[in-house]
Structures are given as C-alpha cells and as structure tokens.
Amino acid sequence: MLFSRALIPTVKEAPSDANNVSHTLLVRGGYIRRVGAGMYDFLPLGLRVLKKVEGIVREEMDRAGALEILMPALLPADYFKESGRWDRFGDTLFRVTDRKGADLHLGPTHEEIVTDIARREIRSYRDMPRNLYQIQTKFRDEPRPRGGLLRGREFMMKDAYSFDATEEGAKKSYDDMRAAYMRTFDRMGLTYRLVAADSGAMGGSTSAEFQILADSGEDAIVACDSCEYAANVEVATVKAPPAAASGAAPAALTKVHTPKAKTIEEITAFLKLPASQMLKSLLYVAKDQVVMAVVRGDHDVNEIRLARALGVDEVFLASDADVTKATGADVGFAGPVGFKGRLLVDRAAAAVENAATGANASDHHYTGVSRGRDYEGEVVDIRLATTGDLCPACDKGKLKSYRGIEGGHIFILGTHYSAQMGATYLDEAQQKKPIVMGCYGIGVSRLVATAIEQHHDENGIMWPMSLAPYHVHIVTVGQDEAVIGAAKSLYHGLWSDGVEVLWDDRDERPGVKFKDADLLGIPLRVTIGAKSLAGGHVELKPRSERDPKKAELVPVGEATERVARMVHEALAPAPRASRTSVLPG
C-alpha cells in the first residue's frame, strides 16, 4: 500500500476522551475513530489488525476441530424468555421492538440460540462431540463503556460452544479449548495468565479466564510465585495463617479519643500502630439486612466471598445514612465491639489480639480489642487475596498481585441450558439425556487494544508481527530517482514473497515520516535515502530498536530476501518453551 493513496489520518494530539494508551494510540495512529459512546469506526489500518486477530482465532479454532457458523445478531426475544435471561440480563440487553410490536434484542452472547441449534440437530450420542463457533459483532448496553476498544457497546467477539454426551467429554472439550486458546494468545505475542475465575451468572462450574497482563487492566489477579496457582482475586483463596498465639499480654479494652481519624491511614498514624493491628469494619446491605464485615486493616473485603458467606447473590456497601443508623456513629468509626447485628469476621482479623478498631461512636476508637472477650461474630474467609499471602495450593509459595484484561474466558456450562431448553440426545441405552455444554469466548476487538497495552513505547505502537497491519514499512527520504527505483523494487519484491508492505512515498519531510512510522508501529522499517543508497545500502530497523543510529545497513541486492526471511521467521508459531502462561491445577 502506498501511503500517499491510503487513508491513515494520524494526529499529533491525543483525543480528549482517551484515558489509556491503546485508545490514544489507535486514534492518533488513524486506526479507529469514535462514532458514539462505545462505538468505533475501524479505518483501513484498524480493520487490517482486527482481521489479523480474527484470522489467528479462526485458524486455531479450526485446528481444534471447531466448526464456524454464523448466528443472527438480531434475535427474537423468545429464546431469552425461554431461559429466563430476558429478565435476568437486565439493562445490559439492547432491546428493540419491530413494527408489529414484537420484542427483539441484539445478541450479547448466544447460549440460547446455539442450544436451539443443538436441540434440533443433535439427537444421538454419535453426533457428539461438536463445537460450534462464530466471530460476530456483539451488543451490550454497558453501564459505562470505556477505554476505547477495551469495553465497547458494540464489539467483536468469538464465541464457541461445545456439546458432549458426558461430563468427561465436556471436560475434554474444555481442555482442548484451553490448549487452543493458549496457542492463540501465544501467536499474538501476548503475556497472560490463565486464572481460576468466578463462573458468574452463567451457571457454570469449571471456569478459567485468560488474563492479559497490563497495568491498566480492570481485573485484579494473584499468582503464586512458586507453583502454578493463579486466580482472579474474586475467587482466590488464601491459606489461613498459622494460628500462633502471639504471647502478647492481653491489654485492657480502652476507649480513646481519635478526632477526625476516619481512614485506616489516619488512625494508624494517630495511634502509631501498623495497619495489621487494626480491624477494618465495613457495613454491607444484603437483602435489606445491614451486616458488618470485619477484616484486618491491611486487607480488603472480597464482596463475592462475603455474599457467598451470607448466602445471598450480591451485597452492596451500605450508604452513609445506613452506617450511621446501624452504628450510631459517623462513617469511619464502626467496629465489632458492641455491634448489634449480624457480624462476619475474617479469619485473619479474628486472630488479631489487642487490636484497634472503631468504637461505634464518632471520633472514638477502642484499643486492646480481642475476639472472644470483646466481640464474637462468625469467623469466615471473606478477604481479598493480595501480594504476600500464602498460596492455597502449595506449601512454600506466596501470592503476587497483577492487573489483567480479560481476553478470553472458558467454562463448562454443564446441562444448565440444555436441560432448560430441552436439548437432549439418546445414549447407547436409548436413554434421553441433556447435552453437556461448554462455552468459550475471546474478545476479538478488545485484543486489538490489549496488544497495544502490552506493546508500545512513548513514541507509539509496537505491533507483534502477527497482528501488525503491515509487516514492513518502507520510508523513502527525498524523491531521488535512484531512491524511488530501489523502493519500488523492494516493495514489489516483498509483496511477491508474501510480505505485506506499506511504503511511505509521501512528499513529506523525513522527520514527519519517521514520527508517523513510530506511531503506526509496523515491526520492520526500511529507510531508503540517497546517502546510504550511494554506498549500496538500505537501512533496516525493527520498531523495537529505539536508537535510530542502530539501524542496520543492508546491501540493496539482499534487502528483499533478508527482510522477507525476518518476517516469515517472526510469523512462525512460537516454540512451546517461550510460553508465558501459568496453568491452574
């Protein structure tokens, strides 16, 4: 592609609504443009990258034996009504009404639709296993779209669904998908962790997320530094600390005046105590009931675990008014001592002796608080795992925290949908049984942004070869005839070797071209200028090399072959040894 004929509208200034690197660089590089909240145009370059992601996903799905189909994005409400999700999906579902007044919606995911295919077409155990997938635009009316391509209201997703006769079969399908996903993410050059995850509202059992590591990620995960345990903090457990009695002499319960010391930081500074000697008391609303959750001052409450401990679907942090009502004090002075109401105490918090905590009276705290004597409560595991915690899976490891972006999610659904929707088959014994399903998603358009989150520097994007819109970026300096001639020959030579080339043939100053080249992030740059060409050379520099002086001089005659070889080597499947994933047990 000639730059002079392309539509690559680069801009110097970051868009005002961008708040992360990938969004900024995608817009600045002329890859995408925003159309509305969570809706984007893919300009030519952006579409090329999207298709690269799609292509890798498709190849690996096909390799794993999955069968590509395409279901409608516009769907009648019947299916979701049948499964109950028409109501349960809530506001996230984009609902539309047709001219006859019938309820329709735009598909956010397709379990019901694909289950309908299964119940009509799969009748025998001999028809399984099968795995059907599609790569399709999905619609979700997100409460808050953000991060450009990271969370849109319309986005591209690959969703696959497996159908098996037995649980064991489903497990095999699941394992196959896991392997296919690892290959997929490996080929995209992404660093990720495979983590245990909350199976959420989908009603699954076994489930894992592919978390692409990025500081800007929305998800917090922990991984063991010694074994292969890794989990979303939502579900991560921690080993209970050894119940070693501190031997400290029990202190008397003392009420101290702590004016305006509301946060843990303020109180620890005021009382000169480590946060681990503090008890943090938070009030939650669970089904109209206000409960108190107590964790150590240096820990955080895991709301999912708390909800589970309470036997409810979800909990919400109580409003300031509710806190005051329940404790009789301003927010910041709640504590377990004398609290009238359901009290849940984390294991680590319960073990703290002579603790300091709110006194349920404004501007006052207690010190010398110990469980058993000063308060009781139910001891449960309700805290978020964090760096330094003991690994629950092995003896010696400690957990370390990471941020991640969910790039894929695999799980076994079991017979949830099939039983509900009557997707059954006959087994060898003529018994009618529900099909055992699994489902597997990859956020295709999200991965475009995710790759940038992992591969960029202050000057722009640094695409992995497998995702780059073009493999090679030729920059010609000046309009000298010899330069143009050499560029033409290289350009055509590379294309006929299967290398995708962008040639910046514009009549621009070199600085402009170099800046744009860095911004676009095409992995290999070949600069052709009169000076080096007079010596019979062109200059080759990978985007990852920041120092322009380190460009390699390559004899013109060898350039085509040399560059083509580099591209093809970079595209070859990565050896297994270079994998960066961690497998949970």
Partner RNA sequence: CGGGGCGUAGCGCAGCCUGGUAGCGCACCUGGUUCGGGACCAGGGAGUCGGAGGUUCAAAUCCUCUCGCCCCGACCA
Residue 362 has φ and ψ, to the nearest 5°, of: -55, 140
For residue 226 the two structure tokens come to 């010694």
Q: Does 441 bind RNA (CB under 7 A)?
A: yes
Among residues 115 and 532, whose Cβ is nearest to RNA? 532
Question: Which strand (E) or helix (H) includes residue 563?
Answer: helix 556-571
Sheet holding 355-358, edge to edge: 254-257, 364-369, 355-358
Query: Contact region for RNA (CB under 7 A) — 10-18, 93-101, 336-344, 571-579?
Result: 10-18
Collect all residues with Cβ–Cβ distance below 8 Å to 392 and sequence separation of at least 6.
229, 236, 237, 238, 239
Q: Does 515 bind RNA (CB under 7 A)?
A: yes
Cβ atoms of residues 279 and 310 within 8 Å? no
Looking up tokens 């609290």 gives: 339
Q: Does 406 bind RNA (CB under 7 A)?
A: yes
Residue 557 has φ and ψ, to the nearest 5°, of: -65, -25
Among residues 186 and 303, whose Cβ is nearest to RNA? 303
Q: Does 524 bind RNA (CB under 7 A)?
A: no
Among residues 186 and 353, whose Cβ is nearest to RNA? 186
Q: Does 521 bind RNA (CB under 7 A)?
A: no
Among residues 52 and 151, whose Cβ is nearest to RNA? 151
For residue 460 the two structure tokens come to 């722009």
- Report, in Å, the least distance between residue 459 CB and RNA: 6
Q: Is 23 left (phi over 0), alpha (psi -120 to 50) or beta?
A: alpha
Strands 207-213 and 399-414: antiparallel
Number of Cβ within a 10 Å radius of residue 19: 13
Q: Does 269 bind RNA (CB under 7 A)?
A: no
Number of Cβ within a 10 Å radius of residue 18: 17
- Report, in Å, the least distance between residue 285 CB and RNA: 11
Q: Does 504 bind RNA (CB under 7 A)?
A: no
Query: Contact region for RNA (CB under 7 A) — 200-208, 367-375, 378-386, 418-426?
Result: 200-208
Q: Mark residues 124-163: x for contact with RNA by CB under 7 A, - for none.
A: ----------------x-xxxxxx---xx--x-x------
Query: Contact region for RNA (CB under 7 A) — 70-78, 170-178, 289-297, 511-519?
Result: 511-519
Contact with RNA (CB under 7 A) among 510, 562, 568, 583: 510
Whole-number Å distance between alpha carbons of 294 and 305: 13
Contact with RNA (CB under 7 A) among 73, 343, 530, 574: 530
Query: CA separation (Å) from 419 to 119, 146, 422, 436, 516?
Result: 10, 36, 5, 9, 56
- Report, in Å, the least distance between residue 9 CB and RNA: 8
Query: CA separation (Å) from 229 to 162, 237, 449?
Result: 26, 10, 27
Q: Which residues bind RNA (CB under 7 A)?
A: 10-13, 15-17, 19, 28, 34, 36-38, 92, 109, 140, 142-147, 151-152, 155, 157, 200-202, 209, 218-219, 303, 314, 316, 406-409, 441-443, 445-446, 459, 477-478, 509-512, 514-519, 527-533, 539, 541, 548, 551
